[in-house]
Amino acid sequence: MEQRVRELQQLLQNASYAYYVLDNPIMEDSVYDQLYRELQEIEAQYPHLVTPDSPTQRVGEKPATQFSSVRHNIPLYSLENAFNIDELKAWEQRWRRNIPVETLHATSLQDATSLQEYVCELKIDGSAIALTYENGLLVRGVTRGDGVMGEDITQNVKTIRSIPLRLQLENPPARVEVRGEAFLPLDVFQQINQERSQKGEPPFANPRNAAAGTLRQLDPRIVDKRRLDFFAYTLHVAGRDDASVYQTQWEALELLQQMGFKVNPHRKLCPTVEEVAAYYQYWDTERLNLPYMTDGVVVKLNSLPLQEQLGFTQKFPRWAIALKYAAEEAPTRVEEIAVNVGRTGALTPMAIMRPVQLAGTTVSRATLHNSDRVAQLDIRVGDTAIVRKAGEIIPEVVRVLPELRPAGTQPFQMPTHCPTCSQPVIKEGAVTRCVNASCPSILKGALEHWVSRDALDINGMGEKLVHQLVDRGVVHSVADLYELTLEEFCALERMGQKSAEKLVIAIATSKTKPWSRVLYGLGIRHVGSVNAQVLTQKFFTVEQLAAAKTSEIESVYGIGAEIANSVYDWFRIPANQTLIERLQAAGLQLAGEVFEESRQNDASLPLAGKTFVITGTLPTLKRDEAKELIQKSGGKVTDSVSKKTDYLVVGEEAGSKLEKAQKLGISILSEAQLLEIVGS
């Protein structure tokens, strides 16, 4: 019976791969269904024969109650955007300037040619997900989230037929990380919207929103019915140097195909930037004939060693860029120009327009950014404006049509006083800013940011409730949230006893959020969630960060002068100092775990002051486990071998790092030797 189960599983897996990945069916649907039912019946009779990669295990029966937030094994960086060929060429000039000098000196004529190579892939308009395979089996699927943390949606990912449950490799690596895009084919999208309309439900605005919403369904049976598809585009083999597995992005894509993944068939290797431009121009119109949405071309340097040398900026990889197509545009009438005040006090002019359909949504408001942009456009009430979605997300005014301008219109002037608090505003370059810390608009923005999911994540504290708390004068600072009582919540409009009790619990729970989330929640200009995590790994307490000089803050990898100055200035403001004191008194986490850098000074620890590199697949420890063990014992773990490396910990298939360490005379340790040193 066990043999028959394995036969059926293999037959069904082969048929599914041919149908969903190769688009070349090898079996009639009726035959597939018959074999599937047979496998179901046997597994029901013999549950011990069920394996995680069985075709019957794709769709779970039990809905999830919620999704847990998890850290990505490797961060998912976003891509820098270019919107025309000139911007593409400017990017090429930038990355060439960043090539290490030693690389240029060592470059042969043949290697110089390889530096010209780019891999072009269509940018699929869907939702990015990260997949983890251990010993060939799919064990985790995670949404992109903020690039550092995402939501575990493994049960939903398993429903996507073009994602293999088991890699098609005889001897798979211990761990494989795959990145790609989940998307809805256009015909499926139209069918779903038709069904929703028949049920009286609102249609999805576009396939991207539909894909993202589908992935976050708690019931995997719903996800399965919506028939998501998937293209893989990035591969990482944990425990090995990627260069020992493949040398180019093109080879990585071919390896993904061998593993059983669907890779976009329209990719192209382009020797020059001119060929990239030709590829981009071809697909500008041809993409309209594709069965899925694409909004641009992703351009990557083909050479993996060159990618590694160029590395990353604070936000983007230097070796890749998204070359976007022009967004859909539409004309409409400007009926009003309003001014919004954000949480940083910035005054943003906003065009209020006659509603117009744009990229699948109704648009009635569009940002005008700042006074300089208003002057440049010379936009006036009554104008006919051309509107588009920047990055197909944020509506913006592209230009106005002065030939259609009514007589008697007046140029728009930015206010001299804050429209919310009536206090005088100041001009900082192109930005007009209210500097009144008590301004209700600034306070509302600060509160909305504080309670947001990536900050303190206070469930139930939405925009309407925040505005009510401020407008009633109940809250004057984020610290006031931690002094609110159940009675005060119950006194608010449309607030029942149970809802009030949940809010009190949610606020209390937020006190357990880590120091990095609190720092992000403070809303310091230029400090996003990723920067907050980086800073708190260097400055373990709020006191350390508050006392740090700008030079000390800027010395942190990934933190530039602008961020450093912003952080330094924020902690010099007396009102902010008072806020920190109140948050400390309320019991929030303004200190974090002391990481490896502080442990290195502890001479009592066995690995104090020593630098390690780990390579290959270790017998029992995962890479992260070995790293944590070294750090707890006072050591430091880096990614590359250099003269400063004290020890190289090696496992199977160690790769080029072992060779380099031997040349430099660096001590080599096995896992057993490492465990002996740390006393484990």
Residues forming the active site: 123
Strands (E), 559-655: 611-615, 636-638, 647-650
383: number of CA atoms within 13 Å, CB side?
Answer: 23
Query: How remote is the C-alpha of 110 from its chain's centroid?
Result: 36
Three-class SS state of 397: strand
Distances (CA, A) of 360 to 109, 192, 461, 580: 50, 15, 29, 44
Q: How far lies 571's CA from each of 154, 438, 544, 568, 576, in Å?
A: 41, 17, 11, 6, 6
Query: Which of 419, 270, 268, 408 is CA-nearest to residue 342?
Result: 419
- Which contacts qualify for 219-224: CB closer than 8 Å, 24 or more apart? 219/63, 219/64, 220/59, 220/60, 220/63, 220/64, 220/155, 220/156, 220/158, 220/159, 221/59, 221/60, 221/61, 221/63, 223/156, 223/159, 224/58, 224/59, 224/159
**What distance in Å separates the CA atoms of residue 204 and residue 195, rounded to the nearest whole number?**
11
Geometric angle at alpha carbon 347, from 384 and 469, rounded to 5°: 115
- Residue 454 phi/psi, 5-degree rounding, is -80, -10
Q: Which residues pair with 306 in a beta bridge?
A: none
Residue whose structure tokens are 């490896």: 596
Secondary structure of residue 10 in the 3-state scheme: helix
Alpha-carbon Rg for the chain, nearest whole angstrom, is 28
User: Which residues is 636 bridged to in the sheet?
Assistant: 611
Q: Give dist(CA 629, CA 678) in Å, integer.
A: 8
Question: Measured in whole angstroms, how far is the alpha carbon of residue 561 from the centre of its chain?
Answer: 24
Residue 62's nearest CA partner among 221, 217, 228, 223 is 221
